[in-house]
Structures are given as C-alpha cells and as structure tokens.
Structure 1
C-alpha cells in the first residue's frame, strides 16, 4: 500500500507531508504505528539484561515516535481543518489510542523494570534532567494504574476508553452548534450602530451563502463586533442566547450528558487510583499542589477584585439608564463597555483597527523575538501545509535553523473556535542530533475582504502575542528528552511565556513602532497610544471576576460537588454566584461548551491563567526595571523557556528572578492596589 505516512517524509526539515497524503491514509498509518510501538515495548520487556536507565527508561522514551508524529498530525488537522470523515475517524481512533496507552502503563512486566530502575538508581548517578525523566516515567505509571489489581486495571481501561470517546464527541458537538447558527438580517434599520467595516464583512458572508442582506455567525470575529455596536437590543439578546446555548439545545448535539459522564468518570478514575477527587489527582503535579491552595488563591483574588468590579458595572448601568434600561443584562455588557470606553478614553477598538493590519502585528511579534532572543523568521514556500491559508516560517538563531512555525489566522467551518498553539514535532536530542521543533499557531481573526487586509482589534493583537509566547516556549526548547521539552511543563506554569508576551502590547515606544495605518502608513497618533496604555486596566476587575468564575466552576466539577440531581445550569449558578454581577439568563449554560476543561487539558487547572498572571506580571516588572529589551535579562528568561520540564518550575523562576514571584505586581497592574 502506498502510504506516505508509513515512509520517510523526504520533505524539508522532515516536515509533515500534508499535500502528499489523503485523509484515508491516517487510519492504517496509526494502526501500523500502534503495532510498531507495541513491538518496541515488547523488546524492552523481553530484554534479558538487568533493567537500567538506558535499556528501560530511555528505550521507553524513544518507543512509538512515528506513532506520536502521525497522531499529532491527525488531531491537529482535526482541530484546524476537519470534515465529517475526520470527525468520524477521530471517534474511532481515540479509544484505540487510549487502549494503546493503557497497554503501556498497565503492563506489569514493563512497570517492574521501571520500578527497579527507580528504586536502584542513585540520584547522584544521573543528571538533573535524567532524574526528572526517571521520576516522571515512574509517576506516569503509578498515576495511571500500574499499582492496581487486575479487576481495577480492567475498569481503568474502560474509563479511559469512554473518556477518550466523550471528549471527541464534546468537541464535535460544539463545532456543529457553532457552525449551525446564523443571524440573518435583511433590514438596514437592524444594522443601526454597526461600523461600515463590520457591515461589509457581514454582507460578504451573506453573498457567500447566496442570500440577501447580512449574515452574522457565532465565530468570534463576526459575533463580537455585533455585540459591541448593534443598537437593537433584541438582536444582541438573540445572538447572545445562541452563543450561550451552544450544545445546550436539548437536541442530538446537547453536551449536558457528556459533561455529567466526563465528570463522573474522572471522579471514579481518581478514586480508583487512591485520590480523593480528580482535582487532587491533577494538582499533585502542579505548582499549586492541592485544591485548598487553589480555592484560597481564587477567593483571595475575588475579595480584592469584586468591589472594583461592582463599581465598573455601576458605571455601565449609569450609561444604560439613558437608554431607559432598568436592568442591565449580560447581552448588554459588550455594548455598554464600548460606550464607556469611548466616553472615558475617547476611542473605540473598531476605530483603531486600520492601524493594526495583521501583517504588521506579525512582524512586530517577530521583532520582539529578535530583540530579546536574536531569532529571525523567514517565510518558506517549499513547506507543505494543510490549507492554502497557512503560512510557514523558518525560525533561525545566528543563521542556524531553530524551528518551523506554521500560522493559520482565519475562521473556517472546519476549524474550531478560539486560538491555540500546538506542535507537529517536539524538540529532542537523539543520537547526536538536535531535532528541532515544528510549532503551529491557530487563530480566528477577521478575514481580508475586497482590497482591505485583515485588520485586528487591539484585543486580537494581544491574542496573537499570547499565542506567539506559547510558540516561543516551543521554539526555544533545548532539552535531551522530548517528553520534558518546550511546553511539557506543569500546566500552571505553561501560561507564563504567553501572558508575558502580552505586556509588550502596552509599551508606548514599542506600540508606536508598528501601529501604522494600513493605507497611508501614518503612525497611530501618540495621543491614541496614550489612551490604549491608559485603558490597560479598563474593566480589569470585571474580567478578573469572569476568569475566577471559570476557575471556581472548574474546581467545583472536579472536587466532586456535582450532585446526581443537579441540573447543569443550576449547578453553574450556585457555584459562581459570588462572582456574578448580572442576572442569570434562563435557558443558558456555559458548561456544555466549556472546551478548556472537558475535551481540553485544563481540567482542575483553569485557575492557572490567573496563577500565571502573578508570574508574568512579576517577570515583566523585572524587565521594566532593567529595560524591556535588556539582553542580559532576556538571556535569563531564554534559559527559563529552553529548560521545559527539566527543572522544577519554581526553581526555574527563582533562577530567573532571584526570588519567588510576588503577587503585588499583578495587583498593581490590575489597579487593585495603589502603585
């Protein structure tokens, strides 16, 4: 059988051969990869020599490499450019891959070899990275059932298989519900308040669909401008309801039962492994360590932020009263926030978009990486890609190849919502070679239309810098073992590099260097830049409460607080009541589309966004003291990025900063304490 995935890729930098493969190639390639990986595991188990670090731990680290690359490629494409065939295949392959994972971690003979190496190898005989790999390998087995009896192991296999299927189904339901809805407007009056640029994009969407008028969707670049500018409150409500009911419509794509099953299975799995809850299981391998510390952290921030947030909402209520609105609702929030922004700072995000063409923002992000770390980015036209809209850059350092960076900016029906960074190949050092990573950024920004390029809101500018920060974490990786490389760190540490990068968007000098009108090249006036910087904390307390609500809800689900008789919507409201400043809207719930914690990797970890803000604010404060492009400090931060999971994250941070992080920098930046 001719299957390009089963042969050497023979592509530049051994990059993924997207254009040589058919979607039908994935299944046989993954099945072959599983079989090959099992043979490699059997060779480790059947090795007659005594178990050693080399013949057991390193051999296991190397096993299954082709399968990993093919599976990563498949699931990345399924997120960014899927179709019915790929979605059905994901449902089929996910439980098979879960079973393969169980075959490894529940292999008694393999575990006995690992256990012997773990018990008999003096720590002093290993490098720090080697010991971290040994410790991580041993824990990955004990935390995934190696110590269970035969009956318990069989139950664990069932749970993992079910979870893998449910997570795929959850994502597919959200994608379907996102694509299924449109707001079709035919009356010019119903477009009142919307900027011409927004109208033009909606008109083009309608023309694509062969209908008259304007079309708005649940994709962020379409929905958010409507919620900000549309005067017709009933239409804002309609769009809000459609978004807030995604996968909660009592139809075949409803995720409420998925939520219940995922939560219950995670709890059962944790108890099976000897943990009180799923959160206890997860947080054992996090900086936060245990649920009480997370809960205290979230409530401490809530106490500080809520009075400020209440004042912010009171300001919105005052403005809304002029429109005879007695009770401000969630679907009014974005509209009156924009009005308040205009009144307070005399600018709107929409008015600033012409100064943030996508290409200029990309170059600005590359400029930061160049000035901090000496990286350069050159577009490559000879690298295969999964969609014509994808661009590929070769990243170099001092003229030497460092990585490939794939970027995919615009929404499509086959792409899930949001923004994320992922990889097609991780970094490692193998048989004398430094294998460099292939990193990908995927976003959903406004498309170019007619002769107007893609123009970003300032919020989208920070999103691009955020994901680019994740990408740099992968690009800068310099470890021996791939499983400890790049973003393979504790999940409450992984957001530090991304959130750190967002700070550069608020530096006046840097902002003025790239914020230029796409037509005239005229720089954004300094008075406008001053407004952006002055508005850095705008509605920050409310946004803090919003993030805290997500973190508290996540923690509640995963500390066994969901009762069998709880309706999901009512459960949500009870848990996040302290954080809510608007009345609840009947018939809505966010849990059925809360992709971060159900199919995604943030279960019992959503708090990490705020946790990492403590780190990023403290780290950037250090740069501000010494100069935001200070190469000496940047070199220390580069070490932090390059070490991945080879050093304890708190130790990494202390090596960079000279001390533990302080929460004061975050509180000052957010305006929650005086400077």
Structure 2
C-alpha cells in the first residue's frame, strides 16, 4: 500500500482528493494508519512533560489526525453519494472503530487535565473561544465521568454508531425496493413528457424494458402526486413512501432512542433533547417546546381550512394521497398556474449558472469557472473553481445534482477540504441534490421546489467557501445545529429576487424569459398551502422531540409515533409528517437528533435577515460584503448569536417568520 493515495496530501489544486486514483481497497489501510497516527500524536501531547500551553496542547490537537481526516471525508462522502456493497461493508466495520477512536481521545484523563490547566492569559479571542470549546467538547464526551461510567459510555457509543449505519443502509435498500413499477403508460396520465421519459429510462436501467419506474425521494411527499390523475397509482406511491423501513428499522429506532436516553442520563441530563440543546443557541428545551406549541395551533387551523377547500374542489372526502393533486388544482384555479407551466423555464444548467452563480456574483463578487480537468468522485460530478472579484483563489465547488440508486435521498452539503489558516488549506465543498436524470440529450427541467433547494444548499456551500478561520474545529459550517440552516435559508431569497429570477427563468428551447405575468402568479402562489407545509414540518419536528424527551420507554415504533402525534395535536390523517420514524434519516443518521426544530428556529433568523436585506437595498455588494464579513466568514470561531447581533444590530424578531408562514 505504498501507493495509497491517502498517505500523502493531495497534490491537486486546493488539495482536491485524487478521485481518479482512489479505489475501495485503499480505505481500510488508510483508516487504520490514520487512527494509529493520531493516537500516537495524542499520546505525545498527553504525556508531555512541559507545562501545558495553548500551542503544545490545543493547537497540537488541531494539527493531529490529518490522514484520518483525509480518508474520512472522502469515504463518508462516497458512502452517502455513491455507495456499493463493498463500501457498505467497510462502513459497517469502520464506524464503530471510529467511535472507539474518538472515545479514546476524549476520555483520556491526562489529556483533559492538560487542557483544563492551560492559562488563558495572552490568548486572543479565537484561541480563548477554542479552548472553551475543547473543554466543553471533552465534558460532553464524558471526560469527567468515573471509570465505570466511561466504560458504559463507550459501549453505548459503539452500539449507537453500529445501529446508525444499519439504519442508513436499510433505508437506502428499502427506498430502492419501494420504487413503483408501472406496466401501462396510460396510468401515468398527467405526468410531464420528460418525467415519463425518465421513468422509462429508470426502468430500462433496472432491466425492465417497456415498463416505467417511479423512484421515491426521501420525504413523505412525492412530486408525482401533484400530477398523476390515476388515484389508485397515487395511493400506491403514497403507501410505498410512508411504509418504507417499517420492517427493517422499527426495532432499530426504539433501541436507538433508549440508548440515547441512557447516555444522556449518564452524562447528567434529563433526556437526550436536554443534552443536545445544552450546546445550541436555543436557551433550553423549554424554549424549544414553547416555540413549537406557539406555532402548532395556528398551523393546524390553516391546514384544516385548506383541507376544506380541497374537499370542495374534489367533490369527495379526500385522502392523504389526494392532497397534492387537488392542491395543484386549487392553485391552478386561484392563480391560473400549474407546475408544468413553470418547468420549461427551469433548466438545470441555466438555474445554476444564471441563477445561483449569478446571485453570488452580484452579492459577493464571486466568479465560477468549470474545471473539466479536475475529476469528481462520480461521472455526474462537476467541479468549479471559485475566485473572488479580484481574481484571488477562494476554493472549489462540486455539484452532484442527479439521483441514483447508490445515493441516499435528500439534499446536503459536505466539506471535502476544510478551510484553515493553521493547515494552510482552502475550502473544497460539494452540494448533493436528487434530481431524476433525464435520458441522454434531454434537458434537465426542474420543479420550483428543486430550484429552491439548489439555492438553499448553495447557501451552505457559501458558508464553507467564505470561512476565514485559523483552526479546523471552527471551519465553515461548524456552528450549532440550530444555527447552521440559517445562512442556507437566507440564500433561498435570491431564487425569487426579481433581477435573479429574470436572469435564469428562461425557456429551455427558445431562451425567452418567463412572462412577467406568469412570474408574478408563481410568486403569489408561494403563499398557498402554507398550512400543509408548516404542519408536515412541525409533525416531523414534534415526532423527533417525542423520541428524545420520552418519560415512558417506547416499545413499538408505530404506536409510539401515533401517540406522539396525537399528544402534540398534529395527528392529521391528511397531513402525514414530512418524515415518519423509520425513514427519518435526519435524526437517526444525519446529526439532527432532537434538533429537527433547527429549521424553524433558524428560520426566525432567516426571515429577520431577509427583512434586513430588503430594508437595505437587496442584492448589493455592500450588503453581501457585510453578511460575509460579519457572519459567513466567522464559521464557529465566535458565539453564533453574537455573530448574528453583530450583523443585525439587535436580537432577532419572530414576527417576520409568523407573517411568512401565515401564523399572525
């Protein structure tokens, strides 16, 4: 393994991982050597005879584990974006080992004693804050527990990491297996021509020539339900979506919830939610509970009113699989618009270049150049070099926009290389979406939701690209979970900003701009169906909260879910949660356990910030530079709410969010 590409830093621009050289057999040796090297580095620090200082302890820890970091970022990106049986086997093996490795560092009493003994005199603000974070990280990891409790903690962490991997792999398999096979094209009446072609292409790729396959996306709601006229097919799709993972993941989620509760108690917390929120911007679990309770009644009332409208439109008592279809009918009648009218104006490359990149150029002065000479981890991945207005290099942006059977559902951002002055690295970030790939030669036409998601995820990318911190621990999106969605939600505003919309919303065949009347009606229609949208989100949030605040241990996942939704007042048969427990990857795999409230918590900051942009002239370099300087560049190097106040000049107000959601 002397030729293992992970064993030395990449020689490519911006240290882009050398994907063309990386093979699956390189991962395990790189993980083993990486863990061994970091443990040796930590041993030198912990056993040091010199008095502990910031540089010989905390900065040294920040420098440790370079090889492990290189292989981990590449491997787990592939495990999410382009997995296969070999990768899944490696993941099963290495995940608990990495958990043991982390515990070996954080539960080292000698190391923790040195960290606590570091004098703060003479440290600058970022160093002092990093030292505080290290103490907090070690305490939250169990450094102050008695030896017997530490051993139990190690066992809990190892089992949780194993179960999390099983959940993720079960869900991918279940989602692929739940794809709907359609024999007769007549059943697809209502679907757009390009969607039917994509379904045929997907079927062909699965050896089902002459048939059609409709794959599922991660949330409960499936886009095809808006268009399909065949009610029986809509029901099939809906049931396939909500029943994912029931057989495979029901017992897993119950077990994981119990283990998290036990771990929280071991660390001195009432429940897992209290453990999580203690390290977030929310002042406590009570604040989160009160906010959710404040939002729920009005949202539910709005959803009931919307349901009455849909029943009137349908002429019968609709079911959950009818909501999207008849909502589209009401939307079309009210605003003279339907989704098929808009899609020809949202061609992927134009949305990316003339929308997402254009807005970033106007606001921040960024320039993007596609680098066909640089190879991504999959043929669909595109690599762009990002520079500032003066031509100075900033980093690389990778776009991986298409769905495939080897990719998990949803949309997300990863950092492949973190910006750090200490390590001399610039950022390399990737955005993943799950847009169905059209047949070769056909344009990729996006839904409005996908357009919005592209802007959202690029907000995360900007957070990573603009990072200007010294230490890796603070790089980019390394902020509290209930703050991390804030910059990405703000970036959604540019999707509908008139100047930006006019630049990218052009017909893919003629190049003609979207008619102003259609654009106006589209924007007006965004206010429609907000009761449904808010309740489906709140139902998932309250479900997450219930799993991590229970007082009576859950036994059956489905019964626990039913009771939790009933207790929270969101058990609306017509509005199922955005994610049910057995496919709620955010909370069982993605780091959002007891944290799915983050989206609405961050949206308070987002809505208030959108108001600031509007008050100050919108899409201007001055505004962009202010947002970049005061907030996006800081990463986690300052207290998150301190950064917000420095930008906004005051604490956030909730009223802009309530108005946006129709909850005033």
Deviates more, 1:489-498 or 1:175-184: 175-184
1:423 and 1:440 in contact (8 A); partners too: yes
Give 1:133's aligned residue: 130
1:371 and 1:629 in contact (8 A); partners too: yes
Structure 1 distance, partners of 2:48, 2:185, is: 75
Give 1:121's aligned residue: 120
Structure 2 distance, partners of 1:581, 1:223, is: 15
Structure 1 distance, partners of 2:575, 2:49, is: 65
1:518-576, Cα deviation, whole Å (9 max, x unpaired): 110011000010011111211112211111111111111111245344x2122212222
Give 1:550's aligned residue: 540
> Which structure 1 residue ranges, 5 or more long, are not aligned?
none
Structure 1 distance, partners of 2:104, 2:514, is: 58
Deviates more, 1:626-635 or 1:157-166: 626-635
> Which structure 2 residue ranges, 5 or more long, are not aligned?
none
Matches within 5 A, 1:530-549: 530-549=520-539
Give 1:298's aligned residue: 292
1:506 and 1:532 in contact (8 A); partners too: no
Shift of 1:611: 0.8
2:419 and 2:475 in contact (8 A); partners too: yes
Structure 1 distance, partners of 2:228, 2:251, is: 35
1:417 and 1:444 in contact (8 A); partners too: yes
Matches within 5 A, 1:146-157: 146-157=143-154
Q: TM-score, normalised by structure 1?
A: 0.94
Structure 1 distance, partners of 2:498, 2:570, is: 33
Distance change (3 Å), C-alpha of 1:564 and 1:352: closer
Give 1:466's aligned residue: 456
Structure 1 distance, partners of 2:225, 2:560, is: 27
Shift of 1:222: 13
1:263-315, Cα deviation, whole Å (9 max, x unpaired): 11111111111111111111011111321110101111113322222211211
Structure 1 distance, partners of 2:297, 2:204, is: 50
Query: What secondary structure sits across from 1:449 in the alignment?
Result: coil
Structure 1 distance, partners of 2:55, 2:220, is: 54
1:116-157, Cα deviation, whole Å (9 max, x unpaired): 11xx424xx322211110011011111111111111111111
1:235-265, Cα deviation, whole Å (9 max, x unpaired): 11111111111111x3xxx101110111111
Q: Does 1:308 align with 2:299?
A: no
Structure 1 distance, partners of 2:550, 2:219, is: 36
Give 2:652's aligned residue: 661
Give 1:483's aligned residue: 473
Q: TM-score, normalised by structure 2?
A: 0.96
Structure 1 distance, partners of 2:573, 2:628, is: 43
Deviates more, 1:590-599 or 1:309-318: 309-318
Structure 2 distance, partners of 1:407, 1:510, is: 20
Structure 1 distance, partners of 2:474, 2:215, is: 40
Give 1:168's aligned residue: 165
Matches within 5 A, 1:105-116: 105-116=106-117
Q: Does 1:403 align with 2:395?
A: yes
1:507 and 1:533 in contact (8 A); partners too: no
1:508 and 1:533 in contact (8 A); partners too: no
1:618 and 1:661 in contact (8 A); partners too: yes
1:16 and 1:384 in contact (8 A); partners too: no
Shift of 1:506: 2.1
- Aligned counterpart in structure 1 of residue 331 of structure 2, from 341, 358, 371: 341
Query: What secondary structure sits across from 2:435 in the alignment?
Result: coil
1:216 and 1:222 in contact (8 A); partners too: no
Distance change (3 Å), C-alpha of 1:221 and 1:167: closer
Query: What secondary structure sits across from 2:374 in the alignment?
Result: coil
Structure 1 distance, partners of 2:327, 2:32, is: 52
Distance change (3 Å), C-alpha of 1:8 and 1:632: closer
- Aligned counterpart in structure 1 of residue 485 of structure 2, from 495, 514, 529: 495
Structure 2 distance, partners of 1:632, 1:603, is: 37
1:217 and 1:223 in contact (8 A); partners too: no
Quote the RMSD (CA, aligned, Å).
Answer: 1.9
Query: What secondary structure sits across from 1:268 in the alignment?
Result: helix
Structure 2 distance, partners of 1:210, 1:235, is: 18
Query: What secondary structure sits across from 1:172 in the alignment?
Result: helix
